[in-house]
Amino acid sequence: MRKVKVRLNTSSYEIHIGSGVLRHTGHQLKENGFSGKVVIITNPIVKKLYGNALKQSLTRDGFKVITLEVPDGEEQKSLETAGSLYHELTEHYAERTTPILALGGGVIGDLAGFVAATYLRGVPLVQIPTTLLAQVDSSIGGKVAVNHGQLKNKIGAFYQPRLVITDIDTLKTLAAKELANGLAEVIKSAVIRDKEFFAYLEANLDQIKSLDARLVEEIVFRSVRIKAEIVEKDERDLGLRGILNYGHTIGHAIESASDFKMEHGEAIAIGMLAAGRISNQLGMLDQNELNRLKCVIERADLPTEIPGLQVKRLLQAIKHDKKILEGKIRFVLLTSIGEAYITDEVSPSLIEQALVG
């Protein structure tokens, strides 16, 4: 088992990463000073797979377990679902000291996190991420949110968990497309911050895809460490944290131009390569590095080209993206593999060029 500590001004917490760590949740909660009642928030798919193992671990250590279930799907990240969870929490007499355990992918993590941040003005939150994306990204850093109409993640808070339990064994049941979604974020972490990690991915990607436990633990650990380090420096997303959006300016536009039919990881992959091309055009990321980036994305079974989307529609979507700052389009670019920076000096014609390849 590996541990990453996230040290923040107001709070610090540990992320436990390893094979089978889910079974030690009860013990870890006790170590962290919890006792009595706990509430698990999950969905039927994840509950069926991991609900029992988690419950057993908790009851063995003397906890009284309440499990609340919401249906699967992004549409559950809503104020309406949060409202029904508040209602159930009240019915079960959940108190301010009662921890909420978010067992699931990023949807459950964001929703349960939002509920934990707001119910009784905040109850303790424990993240138990079960998708690769949630393990390397959404469970770390304290962004919790629900959607509001078409506005994604617009109602939310910065609310740090008290503990994160990341069991890499849960990835064994994940659909291939969900694994690829997570791999896009893993590649992103490496390419913005750690060239040695990028080389590690190049050397080991095939075994990682076949879920070799030692390698999966290593890539989750390294990605988590990168995100934790960035969050420690910029908890409130006012500067450096923006580099985590590498590939996301174009990626989000592709998602919305495809009416969200395209997978997030696929859109980000195309966005990462396009941002790489822009970096190259501006005389930074050299051609060899750009080729390496393309090759890793392809080997992760992610796309590198935009399938049948109109460039004009994409440019419009980019302009509407939330990263527009006073009318300027905000981009994360690479000086080289392992080094990223934020700029608003990218011309629309350069973006257009990068989109057509």
Q: Which segments within 9-124 are labelled E, that is strand? A: 12-18, 37-42, 64-69, 100-104
Residue 181 binds ligand NAD (CB under 6 A):
yes
Closest CA to 20 of 71, 54, 48: 54
Residue 134 binds ligand NAD (CB under 6 A):
yes
| Among positions 81, 98, 130, 166, the unique one binding ligand NAD when judged by CB under 6 A | 130
Residue 137 binds ligand NAD (CB under 6 A):
yes
Comparing CB distances to ligand NAD, the nearer of 98 and 138 is 138
| Among positions 51, 105, 242, 303, the unique one binding ligand NAD when judged by CB under 6 A | 105
User: How far is residue 276's CA from residue 351's CA, in Å, rounded to a whole number?
Assistant: 11
- Interacting residues of 57 by C-beta distance below 8 A, sequence separation 6+: 22, 23, 24, 25, 26, 27
> Buried b vs exposed e over 144-163: b needs ≥16 C-beta within 10 Å?
bbbbeeeebeebbebbbbbb
- Binding segment for ligand NAD (CB under 6 A), chosen from 41-49, 254-262, 275-283, 291-299, is 41-49
User: How far is residue 54's CA from residue 31's CA, in Å, rounded to a whole number?
Assistant: 16
Binding mask 4-33 for ligand NAD (x = CB under 6 A): ------------------------------
Residue 223 binds ligand NAD (CB under 6 A):
no
| Among positions 16, 47, 143, 225, the unique one binding ligand NAD when judged by CB under 6 A | 143
| Among positions 45, 53, 211, 309, the unique one binding ligand NAD when judged by CB under 6 A | 45
Comparing CB distances to ligand NAD, the nearer of 105 and 242 is 105
Q: Is the dihedral of CA 264, 265, 270, 274 positive or negative?
A: positive
- Interacting residues of 270 by C-beta distance below 8 A, sequence separation 6+: 247, 250, 251, 254, 303, 304, 305, 306
CB 55 within 8 A of CB 44: no
Torsion of CA 114, 72, 81, 151, to 10 degrees: 70
Comparing CB distances to ligand NAD, the nearer of 109 and 276 is 109
Binding mask 55-94 for ligand NAD (x = CB under 6 A): -----------------x-x--x-----------------
| Among positions 39, 102, 123, 133, the unique one binding ligand NAD when judged by CB under 6 A | 133
Angle at 136 between CA 269 and CA 41, to 5 degrees: 115
From residue 91, give the alpha-carbon distance in Å to each of 95, 111, 347: 11, 19, 55
For residue 101, the 8-state DSSP code is E
| Among positions 28, 32, 84, 153, the unique one binding ligand NAD when judged by CB under 6 A | 153
Residue 127 binds ligand NAD (CB under 6 A):
no
| Among positions 26, 104, 161, 242, the unique one binding ligand NAD when judged by CB under 6 A | 104
For residue 97, the 8-state DSSP code is T
User: How far is residue 168's CA from residue 131's CA, in Å, rounded to a whole number?
Assistant: 9
- In angstroms, give the least distance from the CB of 167 to ligand NAD: 9
- Give the count of alpha carbons within 13 A of 2, CB side only: 17
Residue 174 binds ligand NAD (CB under 6 A):
yes
Residue 126 binds ligand NAD (CB under 6 A):
no
| Among positions 6, 17, 41, 43, the unique one binding ligand NAD when judged by CB under 6 A | 43
Q: Which residues bind ligand NAD (CB under 6 A)?
A: 43, 45-46, 49, 72, 74, 77, 104-108, 110, 130-131, 133-134, 137-138, 141, 143, 153, 170, 173-174, 178, 181
